[in-house]
């Protein structure tokens, strides 16, 4: 069901410093910051030859990243995103197998302009999983 690893998301306490570290220290191609109000985050994508890194920073007081950074002030891996061909079919199969879909269970449009869903980390070895329709 899951396809390619789309990205690994890292919550960061300083978005500009993290982006500069990837650009200057690691020599990566770093995209511009973009606000994603529906998800309560500002994101920056780092392009790699085989996948992407998504830097996450809180956008607003209700951001889920704010709570994550309070527990992990230095930042850390927040989630992994896998591609799926049909997000509704993937959701229905996962729910039938007992996996919990976060939110209301309906896909939202993610940072790439495609439908996404998140799966409860307790169902996946402590890792928050994002599914993105290709």
Which pairing describes strands 52-58 and 108-109: parallel, antiparallel, or unpaired?
Answer: unpaired
Both tokens assigned to 107 = 């896909």
User: What is the sign, positive or negative, of the torsion defined by CA atoms of 15, 109, 53, 127?
Assistant: positive
Q: Active-site residue 130, yes or no?
A: yes
Identify the active-site residue in 47, 85, 106, 130.
130
Which pairing describes strands 128-133 and 76-84: parallel, antiparallel, or unpaired?
Answer: parallel
> Which DSSP state fits 82?
E
Distance, CA of 105 to CA of 22 (rounded, Å): 34
**CA nearest to 13, candidates 65, 83, 48:** 65
List active site positions: 130
């Amino acid at each position: 069901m899951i396809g390619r690893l789309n990205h690994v998301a890292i919550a960061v306490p300083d978005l500009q410093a993290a982006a500069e570290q990837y650009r200057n220290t690691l020599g990566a191609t770093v995209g511009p910051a973009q606000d994603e109000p529906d998800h309560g985050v500002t994101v920056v994508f780092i392009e790699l030859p085989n996948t992407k890194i998504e830097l996450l920073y809180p956008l607003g007081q209700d951001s889920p990243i704010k709570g994550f950074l309070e527990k992990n002030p230095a930042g850390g891996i927040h989630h992994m995103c896998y591609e799926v061909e049909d997000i509704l079919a993937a959701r229905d199969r996962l729910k039938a197998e007992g996996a919990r879909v976060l939110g209301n269970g309906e896909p939202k449009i993610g940072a790439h302009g495609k439908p996404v869903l998140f799966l409860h980390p307790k169902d996946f070895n402590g890792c928050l999983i994002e599914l993105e329709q290709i």
